[in-house]
Amino acid sequence: MKRSPERKWLMMGLGVTSLVMGWISWMAYQSSERLLESTNKSQQTHEIIKNLINVYATMSIAESGRRGYVFLADQKELYRYQAAIRELDPELKALQESLSDRSDQLSRLKALKQLLNQRVSLLQQSIQLYQTEAKITPRQVQITEQSIKLRDKIQLIIAAMQQTEELSLEQWVTQSRIRIRQELGISLLVLVSSFGILAIAAFLLYHQFMKRQQAEVLQAKLVNEKEGSEAKLKFFSMVSHEFRTPLSVILASSQLLSQGSHTWSEERKSKTLQRIQSSAKLMTRLLTDILTLTRAEAGKLDCHPEALDLEAFCLNLVEEKQMSTAHSSIHFFSSGQLYSVSLDANLLYSILNNLLENAMKYSPLDQPVLLTLTLELETVIFQVKDRGIGVNLEEQQKIYELFYRGKNAGAIAGTGLGLAVVKKCVELHHGKIVVDSEVGQGTTFTVQIPLTVADPSVNLGKH
What are the distances in angstroms from CA 377 to CA 374, 427, 444? Answer: 10, 20, 22
Where residue 241 falls among pLDDT bands split at 50, 70, 90?
low
Query: Which of 14 and 158 is assigned the larger pLDDT?
Result: 158
pLDDT of 458 over the 60 cut? no
Least confident stretch, 66-80, 192-206, 337-351, 416-430: 192-206
Q: Does 221 or 457 have the greater pLDDT score?
A: 221
Instruction: Tell me the C-alpha distance between 155 and 174, whole Å.
Output: 28
Task: Select the more confidently predicted residue: 93 or 207.
Answer: 93
| pLDDT in the model for residue 385 | 92
Phi/psi region, residue 186 (left: phi>0; alpha: psi -120 to 50; beta: rest), is alpha
Q: Identify the helix (H) or strand (E) that includes residue 328.
A: none
Report pLDDT for 281: 65
Taking 3-state DSSP, the helix, strand and coil percentages for the chain, each rounded to the nearest 5, stand at 70, 10, 15
Q: For 313, phi and psi rounded to 5 degrees?
A: -60, -50
Domain ranges for the chain: 5-208, 304-459
Q: Is the pLDDT of residue 425 over 50?
A: yes
- Mean pLDDT value across residues 323-349: 79
Give 142-167 pLDDT, tens digit per residue: 888 888 888 888 889 888 888 888 88
Torsion 335-336-337-340 (CA) sign:
negative
- E strands within 246-361? 306-308, 330-335, 339-343
Residues belonging to the chain: 463
* Residue range 332-336: mean pLDDT, rounded: 83
Question: How does residue 462 score in pLDDT terms, banded at 50, 70 and 90?
Answer: very low
Tens of pLDDT, residue by residue over 162-217, are 888 888 778 877 877 777 777 667 767 766 666 666 676 666 666 677 777 888 88
The domain made up of 304-459 is a member of CATH 3.30.565.10: yes
Torsion 162-168-169-171 (CA) sign: positive
Angstrom distances, CA of residue 149 to CA of 53, 108, 240:
19, 17, 121
Q: How far apart are the first and last CA of the chain?
A: 84
Contacts of 389 (CB under 8 A, 6+ apart): 362, 406, 408, 409, 439, 440
Structure confidence at residue 455 (pLDDT) = 42
pLDDT in tens, 402-413: 776 666 665 565
DSSP bridge partners of 379: 376, 450
The pLDDT mean for the chain works out to 77
* pLDDT of res. 191: 64
Largest CA distance in the chain: 162
pLDDT at 263 over 70: yes
pTM of the predicted model as reported, rounded to 2 decimal places: 0.45
Determine the average pLDDT of the residues in 295-323: 81
With a cut of 90, say whether residue 446 has pLDDT above it.
Answer: yes
Q: List Cα–Cα distances, 428 to 28, 127, 358, in angstroms.
A: 61, 102, 21
For the four alpha carbons of 229, 230, 232 and 237, in that order, the dihedral sign comes to positive
Nearest to 373 by CA among 397, 350, 406, 348: 348
Instruction: Between 75 and 25, name the one with better pLDDT.
Output: 75
